[in-house]
Structure 1
């Protein structure tokens, strides 16, 4: 099969388009999927550059990628929820920049019929991350106020929709085209962070969901009410500032599985969720796709088309 692979950590020029053996089912709970599209995520670049090697080392040569959509072509003897021919979303955490991948049953869900393969490849990691931050860790409730830092991005845009569907009052920060996108996705207020200081405008927030990180993170403590929470998927927030403001703060490592996707999949099936694909690239152009995402300012998800 054709796949993207690299043999050493480095910049995008380590990425090669190669021929490798098609993976085989090795356990009775595995599924073999012919990939139609694969999502590109910031963690893919962090792994490639070696920034994750102490906590998430990989064996070289390595096929990157962690989510995909496609069609099941074989199942293990113990697989009961899926059959050959099913169109699915797979959350493998590795090896999806390829024509085929294996996954265990717990990390596969049926693809909503309303989504194309490209759209389906864009929702797995984003929905799982949003679910983990907003509800598993953030305990967001109906009527509460949430600030989503980076509401025009791939994860932030999903957070806007899922928080709104839960009955929260949603405030998002964004810039450029992301301002209109966050509004279209349902945010009650959108702050253009390039021209406005969110900490001077917004107060008494129950939960801050930080998808952007950077120097502005410390300012986000000022918008929280006593007892609120600041949760980040980018960098651990300051515990000293958390104590100073009387709030909870933490770095969230998302639990991404079929179970954490169910809430978002239900919203898609009910027509209450909009999937935003920013740009698609061919599998062989994966290096260009990663550089495009790394450059920043991307509204929505970057997806690889696999043929």
Structure 2
């Protein structure tokens, strides 16, 4: 079968298309999925570049890809939730850039009939991460004020929709086409960070969800109310600034499960969440897809189509 892999860490030049044996079920609670589409995430690029060697080492050669949508081709002897032929969304952790992949049934959910496979492949990581930041860690409640740094991106856009569905007052930062996108997803206010100083406009925020990191993160401390919380999925925030502003600030690694993913599926079924796919590439264009994500400014998710 076709697969995308790399044998060494490095730039996108290390990515190659190869023929590898079709996987078989080795664990009784796994399912085998015929992949129709796979999501492309920043973690795929960081892993390929070797940035994650210490925290998330991989065995080379490595087939990337942490999420997929497709059709179940076989099931393990202990699988009870699914049957062959079910259309599903899976958090695979690895090896989704291929024609077939295995996944534990506890990291798989049924694909909503309203979603195409390409849309379905865009949501597992975004919904799971948004759920982890806003609710598992951020404890966001109805009526609270939340600022989402990067509301036009894939994860940020998911956060906007899920926070709004929970009854929060949602403020997003974005730029370019992302401003209109964040508004269309339900943001009450959108700050164009290239032309406006968010800290000069916004204050008294309960929760800041930072998807961008970098120098812009420093400014986010100023918008929080005393006792507020800043959570980042990009870079660990300064503890010195947290003490200065009397807030809590920490880095969050998302804990994605089928339950957290199902919360997003329920919102889709209720018409309160829509996936946003920025651009699709063919499987053999995986290097170009990763370069597109690396370039930044992507509004929505990048997806690989497997034919």
Q: TM-score scaled by structure 1?
A: 0.99
Q: Which residue of 2 aligns with 1:300?
A: 300
Rounded Cα–Cα distance in structure 2 between residues aligned with 1:151 and 1:26:
40
Q: Which residue of 1 aligns with 2:56?
A: 56
Q: CA RMSD in A?
A: 0.5
Q: Which residue of 2 aligns with 1:131?
A: 131
Q: Does residue 281 of the first structure (1) align with residue 276 of the second (2)?
A: no
After TM superposition, give the deviation of residue 275 of structure 1 in Å.
1.0
How many aligned residue pairs are there? 307
1:5-34 per-position Cα deviation (integer Å, ceiling 9, x unaligned): 100000000000010001110011010000
Q: How does 1:44-123 map to 2 (within 5 A)?
A: 44-123=44-123
Q: Which residue of 2 aligns with 1:34?
A: 34
After TM superposition, give the deviation of residue 272 of structure 1 in Å.
1.2
After TM superposition, give the deviation of residue 260 of structure 1 in Å.
1.2
Q: Which residue of 2 aligns with 1:228?
A: 228
Q: Which residue of 1 aligns with 2:140?
A: 140
Q: How does 1:238-257 map to 2 (within 5 A)?
A: 238-257=238-257
Rounded Cα–Cα distance in structure 2 between residues aligned with 1:250 and 1:106:
28
Rounded Cα–Cα distance in structure 1 between residues aligned with 2:265 and 2:239:
34
1:166-217 per-position Cα deviation (integer Å, ceiling 9, x unaligned): 0000000000000000000000000000000001110000000000111010
1:105-136 per-position Cα deviation (integer Å, ceiling 9, x unaligned): 11000001100000000000000000000000
Secondary structure in 1 matching 2:140: coil
Rounded Cα–Cα distance in structure 2 between residues aligned with 1:266 and 1:273:
9
Q: Which residue of 1 aligns with 2:175?
A: 175
After TM superposition, give the deviation of residue 274 of structure 1 in Å.
1.3
1:239-296 per-position Cα deviation (integer Å, ceiling 9, x unaligned): 1111111111110000012111121110001111111100000000000000011001
Q: Which residue of 2 aligns with 1:265?
A: 265
Q: Does residue 192 of the first structure (1) align with residue 192 of the second (2)?
A: yes
After TM superposition, give the deviation of residue 48 of structure 1 in Å.
0.1
Secondary structure in 1 matching 2:90: strand
Q: Which residue of 2 aligns with 1:17?
A: 17
Secondary structure in 2 matching 1:23: coil
Rounded Cα–Cα distance in structure 2 between residues aligned with 1:186 and 1:213:
23
Secondary structure in 2 matching 1:203: coil
Secondary structure in 2 matching 1:37: strand
Rounded Cα–Cα distance in structure 2 between residues aligned with 1:78 and 1:48:
34
- Structure 1: 5+ residue stretches without partners: none
Q: TM-score scaled by structure 2?
A: 0.99
List structure 1 segments (4+ residues) > 3 angstroms apart after TM superposition: none
Rounded Cα–Cα distance in structure 2 between residues aligned with 1:234 and 1:27:
33
